Chain A
Amino acid sequence: MTRAMRGEELGPHIQAAFPQGVERWEGGSLWIRPEAVLDVARFLKETPPLAFDLLNSITAVDYVEHFEIVYHLTSTVHNHKAVLKARVYGRELPSLPSVTSVWQGADFQEREVWDLMGVAFTGHANLKRIMLWEGFPGHPLRKDYLEPPR
């Protein structure tokens, strides 16, 4: 059985390494500061007792006043999993660092988040639209997206 590492367990680890990196943990979830995502990601992957080597998924949820980027991580070494969240504010061009340099598997998923949710990932080598065509107006998974009149 894959052990779920709750925020309360994982948070102190990260805080010890990056005092500024962690926003808060509450009810099992763990929020980190968006600007620290890349460092935390590298830390999580490269620290032997954590060893999160498999990035299951990256997704974004639009809570209207902010976007929440959700990372699902698994360690195939220790067979535990964790959920990492980061809040980005602003609707014009919200952005946070890309983790493609840590997990290459983030490549297409970050492009998808950018395409459908409009959250940019700085440092991504090829941040283009992936599902929709270039020049598509808006980002359709946002809650305030309206289909343009035909």
Chain B
Amino acid sequence: MPLRTEPVTVNIGPQHPSTHGVFRMRVTFDGEVVLDVEPVFGYLHRGSEKLAEERTYTQVITLTDRLDYVASMTSNQAYVLACEQLGDIQTPERGRYLRVIAAELQRVASHLMATGFLLNDLGAFATPLMYCFREREKVLDLFEMLCGARITMTYLRVGGVFQDAPEEFWPALKRFVAEMPHYIDEYEQLLSENEILLARTRGVGVLGTGEALNCSVTGPVLRSTGFAWDLRKVDPYEVYDRLEFEVPVGEHGDNYDRYKVRILEMRQSVRILEQCLAQVPSGPVRAEVPQLYRPPPGEAYGRVESPKGELGFYLVSDGGIAPYRCKVRSPSFINLTVLRDLLVGWKLADMIVTFGSIDVNMGEVDR
């Protein structure tokens, strides 16, 4: 008869430094080993889908900002794409390029944040986080030039973007594109070969492609399992079919691969930005869409590859000025389906890191 101790149940969250918001996991531990995890949602539930039914199509854009508040450009994008599908609106070329630029900058910013906080979860005393924030600050400065806001941008509009980029934006973007690869090298020098980081993340929280697909996992988490599924490639929207980039994939689907895929994706995003700079045409940035947009009755499902995965908006229109139904397919929420399988059997410390490596945003999970 082996010696046994009582399992302990601990609430990790909703107030906990590394639950990335107000997430709560009811965890049963045997010593340090996780026996069972039950995620508890809803601490940031604001009823965005219900609110959207009471607002005009343009007003809803502000709600989408507040879903994934570290990547509001891509939230905007998925929503306006769905709106444009409803009314069959063609966006002018320059508007599309500006959207792609905004989305890729946002991807860089979001991945920087994911990487920084992952390292914080790993216990690095905020140094990588501050380095990542230093560059994120530059992206936010660029956003500020575009639309005057830094977090909740509401930059995209149905039929284009809010306004053309100002003069000073282009040289600033050029400088950012030129500098960013060096900064990424800097992170990699600090992190990618770090013995402790390797020991903590390699082979931890392993996810297989089949399991990931079955759990509807998308985004970098799915790609880290070695499956190149990127909506920008397989279902190109905006102008992605004209841009050259690769879809980085991992090998083992462990925490390290999830980290690495994000780093590689940042490099690809910089590459896309470079091409956009060369290709962006002149012309209008916004199609003529009335302020009180009234799409014909129907439905549309617009989806983009957000930094977290497939972000989709399912809109049902009854011909009125407000969506009849606005459903958000949030990648953060659905990626968590796989959480329990990933955590059980690992230690407390791994649990935090694995959760961090999935990279969720609570605003998007709870909506």
Contacts and interface: CB of A to CB of B under 8 A. Distances in A.
Do any beta carbons of A and B sit within 8 angstroms of each other in the complex?
Answer: yes
Interface of B: prevailing SS: mixed
Contact of A105 (B216, B227, B236): B216
Contact of A140 (B50, B215, B301, B366): B50
B216 A56 contact: yes
- The interface size bin for chain B is 20 to 34
Contacts of A54: 213, 216, 218
Main secondary structure of the interface of A (DSSP, over half): mixed
Contact of A131 (B45, B329, B334, B336): B45
A104 interface: yes
Given A62-B325, A76-B227, A56 B312 contact: yes
> Among the interface residues B229, B301, B312, which one has the most CB atoms of the partner chain A within 10 A?
B301
A70 interface: yes
B329 A116 contact: no
Nearest to B330: A57
A133 B303 CA distance: 30
B41 interface: yes
A61 B337 CA distance: 23
Interface residues of A, number: 31
A106 B337 CA distance: 8
A57 B313 CA distance: 10
B209 to A, nearest CB: 9
Interface of B: 41-42, 45, 47, 49-50, 213-218, 227, 229, 234-236, 241, 301, 303, 310, 312, 314, 316, 324-325, 327, 329, 333-334, 336-337, 366-367
7 contacts: A1-B234, A57-B314, A59-B329, A61-B325, A83-B301, A107-B337, A131-B45
Interface of A: 1-2, 53-57, 59, 61-62, 70, 72, 76, 79, 81, 83, 103-109, 112, 116, 130-133, 140-141
